[in-house]
């Protein structure tokens, strides 16, 4: 209650950490003292990936969340991921460094409009990408991630209509691979649609030996040209085992840290963003809202905390478990 107003307004507790405190050491000490696990998505900055207990894609982090038996989880990613962890592990106190770390896909799916869309197609099975709010998960039959969307759709009987939300680009990709016609919601990831197809084309001309690999949230024009399409984890695994030595990677640039660590001898080039920026890449502004200072304050003050209304929890858990049963 004491911190609630401030956290809701700014997204986190803005307390300066004493100058003599080494943030990394202090976070690791607090983590031990509070019996906490730090989870991080591949898109958060390198300094955070370095202190995380587990780094993964959305699917791996959801599965790990379920198995964690520490008292607390600090989720360094975005809001829907922390919500997923809370739904799967309701007894853990789930903290997020910045409550306002959202996602354009989750924002693209207001509950009322989604319920109205469902009413237009009462016979359809609802498959929602994990990048959505807990309320949308509760309105879904299955959740999927970028690593198992094809598998989940294939598990639904062929005579059933399917609503696929909220990522239209992932939906178009799944439609192509499965041959199923999907009722698509019109959402997009601002980071993946921000990759410039013209600059990418030029980059391919300049680097003729580089293999283009892409995340399925990219626009169809990029996916059509890619030699491999997969989740963040699958992209890292691909460059690791591939016989090739040069890659253009069409996804968020945070992934480069793990990729370069896995294959330091290979050339990894991030796909360029539409606008000219310092990294010549596309970055997720929400993922980059995480910082060591916010993690320290989250652990110290135990806010912002993720809570899920019980009416939402049960139905969202069912949809998540349906995914975990399929893959
Ligand atoms: P994955 O972690 O499933 O590859 O998804 C990427 C993403 O955009 C997460 O928000
Ligand atoms: Fe959402 Fe895109 Fe950021 Fe992932 S990269 S959190 S899909 S805005």
The span from the CA of 301 to the CA of 4, in Å, is 11
* Three-state SS annotation for 225-241: CCCEECCHHHHHHHHHH
The structure tokens listed for 275 are: 């606008």
CATH architecture for the domain at 2-100+286-308: 3-Layer(aba) Sandwich (3.40)
Instruction: Check if 145 has its Cβ closer than 6 Å to any atom of ligand 1.
Output: yes
> Crossing angle, helix 23-34 and helix 292-301, to 10 degrees?
30
CA of 191, closest atom in ligand 2: 2
Closest by CA position to 72, among listed 303, 315, 316, 325: 303
Instruction: Check if 284 has its Cβ closer than 6 Å to any atom of ligand 2.
Output: yes
Whether 105-189+312-326 and 2-100+286-308 are alike in CATH topology: the answer is: yes
| CA dist 250 → 102, 104, 280, 291 (Å) | 21, 18, 12, 24
Q: What is the pLDDT of residues 119-162, one digit of tens each?
A: 999 999 999 999 999 999 999 999 999 999 999 999 999 999 99
Q: How far does residue 194's CA lie from ligand 2's centre (Å)?
A: 11
Residue 103 DSSP code = -
Q: How confident is the model at residue 1 (pLDDT cuts 50, 70, 90)?
A: low
List Cβ neighbours of 277 (8 Å cut-off, separation of 6 or more).
283
Instruction: Check if 218 has its Cβ closer than 6 Å to any atom of ligand 2.
Output: no
pLDDT recorded at residue 160:
98
Given its phi and psi angles, is residue 75 left (phi above 0), alpha (psi -120 to 50 degrees) or beta?
Answer: beta
CA of 252, closest atom in ligand 1: 8
Q: How confident is the model at residue 309 (pLDDT cuts 50, 70, 90)?
A: very high
CATH T-level fold of 195-270: Rossmann fold (3.40.50)
Mutation pick for ligand 2 pocket among 106, 166, 191 (CB with most ligand atoms within 8 Å): 191
CA of 77, closest atom in ligand 1: 10
Ranges of each domain in the chain: 2-100+286-308, 105-189+312-326, 195-270
Phi and psi at residue 247, to the nearest 5°: -140, 145
Q: Which numeric CATH code is attached to 105-189+312-326?
A: 3.40.50.10800
The structure tokens listed for 120 are: 């237009």
Q: What is the mean pLDDT of residues 172-176?
A: 98
Q: What is the pLDDT of residues 35-79, one digit of tens each?
A: 999 999 999 999 999 999 999 999 999 999 999 999 999 999 999
Residue 93, helix vs strand vs coil: strand
Q: What is the pLDDT of residues 201-212, one digit of tens each?
A: 999 999 999 999
The span from the CA of 110 to the CA of 116, in Å, is 10
Nearest-CA residue for atom 8 of ligand 2: 103
Considering every ligand atom shown, identify the ligand nearest to the alpha carbon of residue 105 and give its number. Answer: 2
Residue 160 DSSP code = S
Q: How far does residue 166's CA lie from ligand 1's centre (Å)?
A: 13
pLDDT recorded at residue 2:
75
pLDDT recorded at residue 276:
87
Q: What is the mean pLDDT of residues 89-107?
A: 98
Mutation pick for ligand 1 pocket among 75, 78, 217, 255 (CB with most ligand atoms within 8 Å): 217
Q: How far does residue 282's CA lie from ligand 1's centre (Å)?
A: 14
Nearest-CA residue for atom 7 of ligand 2: 189
pLDDT recorded at residue 111:
98
pLDDT recorded at residue 40:
98
Q: What is the pLDDT of residues 11-25, one digit of tens each?
A: 999 898 888 999 999
Q: What is the pLDDT of residues 211-270, one digit of tens each?
A: 999 999 999 999 999 999 999 999 999 999 999 999 999 999 999 999 999 999 999 999
């Amino acid at each position: 209650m004491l911190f609630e107003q401030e956290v809701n307004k700014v997204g986190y507790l803005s307390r300066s950490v004493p100058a003599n405190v080494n943030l990394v050491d202090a976070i690791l000490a607090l983590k031990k003292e509070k019996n906490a696990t730090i989870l991080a998505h591949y898109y958060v900055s390198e300094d955070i990936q370095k202190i995380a207990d587990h780094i993964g894609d959305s699917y791996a982090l959801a599965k790990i969340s379920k198995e964690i038996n520490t008292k607390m989880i600090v989720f360094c990613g975005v809001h829907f991921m922390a919500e997923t962890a809370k739904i799967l592990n309701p007894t853990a106190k789930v903290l997020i460094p910045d409550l306002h770390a959202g996602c354009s896909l989750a924002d693209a799916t207001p509950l009322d409009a989604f319920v109205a869309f469902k009413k237009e197609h009462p016979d359809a099975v609802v498959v929602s990408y994990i990048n959505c709010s807990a309320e949308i998960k509760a309105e879904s039959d299955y959740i999927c991630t970028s690593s198992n969307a094809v598998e989940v759709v294939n598990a639904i009987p062929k005579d059933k209509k399917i609503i696929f939300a909220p990522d239209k680009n992932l939906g178009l990709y799944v439609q192509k691979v499965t041959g199923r016609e999907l009722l698509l919601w019109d959402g997009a990831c601002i980071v993946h649609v921000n990759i410039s197809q013209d600059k990418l084309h030029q980059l391919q001309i300049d680097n003729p030996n580089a293999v283009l690999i892409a995340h399925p949230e990219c626009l169809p024009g990029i996916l059509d040209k890619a030699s491999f399409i997969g989740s963040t984890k699958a992209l890292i695994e691909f460059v690791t085992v591939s016989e090739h030595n040069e890659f253009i990677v069409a996804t968020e640039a945070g992934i480069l840290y793990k990729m370069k660590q896995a294959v330091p001898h290979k050339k990894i080039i991030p796909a360029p963003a539409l606008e000219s920026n310092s990294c010549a890449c596309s970055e997720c502004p929400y993922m980059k809202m995480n910082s060591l200072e916010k993690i320290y304050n989250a652990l110290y003050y135990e806010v912002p905390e993720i809570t899920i209304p019980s009416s939402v929890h049960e139905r969202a858990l069912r949809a998540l478990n349906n995914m975990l049963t399929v893959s």
